[in-house]
């Protein structure tokens, strides 16, 4: 099937759901050669990926993953990466704060790809055991409202694709599939993207994948989070309905900062910055984390963005967020 798909893509023809899913099954099942995978990913990128192709591919990637089975409403807070901002781990900290405020968060992530420090890197530096078994992760989620699913552990079929991606070094559909392939099938999501053209298509993909409430956000300074240094484009998902709008830091009482003010460092440095924020240190880094945690609480609890932001601030200032991190680390190491 992959040979037929490559021929279609070279002629700029879109693939239907069945063919896109079939090809991804061949790739994830180890049935496609490295040359075929390379040609397919390149041709698909040159044509431009459609909502249907992305939905089908993400669904297959989920099917091939190790599962974290549960029956709860859960959310993920994640960025596509690729923004080259080298910022602190905003979505990771937002996940800890949102869960401490009552949201159930299944954080799915990996080591750094385009940055110095990915989610897995900073959590490991903070003391988290990344290799917890799925059943234990679900138990931790039930107990404290958060768990971490390490992509390398859950998506072992990616071993067929990784060498090709390393060698061709161009953006491919896999740059956006990771954040769409949460092994716990999160039905709520705050997704940051590195390109404004992805905002509405990925909102539709999330809805197709079963996300009932969510936001896809693009910081207009090319940050894959809600930005503190520029307006942010948002497409909100609410049970199959979509609304596009723009927000700014000022409308929530924050002072706009420079993009460089959000820069992080290596895992140890980012862990130190994370602890400082959770201990109450003020400044633009805290503001960026708070506004994103507030958006997550808006999604998870159905409260306004303003109410979500205030709740995130209270959660940090009361010490509950720091306590949540300490519990999280302890439970993964017991």
Q: Write out the binding residues for Mg(2+).
A: 91, 224-225
Q: Is 50 exposed, middle or buried (0-12, 13-18, 19+ CB in 10 A)?
A: middle
Q: Residue 105 CA to chain centroid, in angstroms?
A: 12
Question: Tokens representing 234?
Answer: 């948002």
Q: Write out the binding residues for 5-phospho-alpha-D-ribose 1-diphosphate.
A: 79, 82-83, 87, 89-92, 107-115, 119
Do residues 171 and 200 lie in contact, with contact meaning Cβ atoms separated by under 8 Å? no
- Exposure pattern of 292-316 as b/e (b: 16+ CB <10 Å)? bbbbbbbbbbeeebeebbbbbbebb
Between CA 55 and CA 227 the distance in angstroms is 27
Q: Write out the binding residues.
A: 79, 82-83, 87, 89-92, 107-115, 119, 165, 224-225
Between CA 203 and CA 81 the distance in angstroms is 17
Between CA 97 and CA 124 the distance in angstroms is 18
Question: Tokens representing 286?
Answer: 């805290």
Helix and strand numbers (H, E) in the chain are 15, 7
3-state secondary structure of 306: helix
Q: Write out the binding residues for anthranilate.
A: 79, 110, 165
What's the full length of the chain, in residues?
Answer: 334
């Amino acid at each position: 099937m992959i040979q037929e798909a490559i021929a279609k893509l070279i002629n700029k023809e879109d693939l239907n759901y069945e063919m896109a899913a079939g090809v991804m099954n061949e790739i994830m099942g180890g049935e496609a050669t490295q040359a075929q995978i390379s040609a397919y990913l390149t041709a698909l990128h040159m044509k431009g990926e459609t909502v249907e192709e992305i939905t089908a591919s993400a669904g297959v990637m989920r099917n091939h993953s190790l599962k974290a089975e549960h029956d709860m409403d859960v959310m993920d807070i994640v960025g596509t990466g690729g923004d080259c901002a080298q910022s602190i781990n905003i979505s990771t900290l937002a996940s800890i704060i949102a869960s401490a405020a009552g949201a159930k968060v299944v954080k799915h992530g990996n080591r750094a790809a385009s940055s110095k420090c990915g989610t897995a890197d900073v959590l490991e530096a903070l003391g988290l055991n990344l290799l917890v078994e799925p059943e234990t992760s679900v138990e931790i989620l039930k107990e404290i409202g958060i768990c971490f699913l390490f992509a390398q552990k859950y998506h072992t079929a990616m071993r067929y694709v990784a060498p090709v991606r390393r060698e061709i070094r161009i953006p491919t559909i896999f740059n956006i599939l990771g954040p769409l392939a949460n092994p716990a099938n999160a039905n709520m999501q705050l997704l940051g993207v590195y390109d404004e053209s992805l905002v509405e298509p990925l909102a539709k993909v999330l809805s197709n994948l079963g996300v009932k409430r969510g936001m896809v956000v693009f910081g207009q300074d090319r940050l894959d989070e809600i930005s503190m240094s520029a307006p942010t484009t948002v497409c909100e998902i609410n049970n199959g309905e979509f609304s596009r709008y723009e927000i700014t830091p000022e409308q929530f009482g924050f002072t706009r900062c420079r993009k460089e003010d959000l820069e992080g460092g290596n895992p140890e440095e980012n862990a130190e910055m994370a602890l400082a924020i959770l201990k109450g240190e003020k400044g633009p880094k805290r503001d960026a984390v708070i506004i994103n945690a507030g958006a997550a609480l808006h999604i998870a609890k159905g409260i306004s963005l303003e109410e979500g932001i205030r709740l995130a601030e209270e959660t940090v200032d009361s010490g509950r967020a720091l306590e949540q991190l300490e519990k999280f680390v302890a439970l993964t190491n017991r």
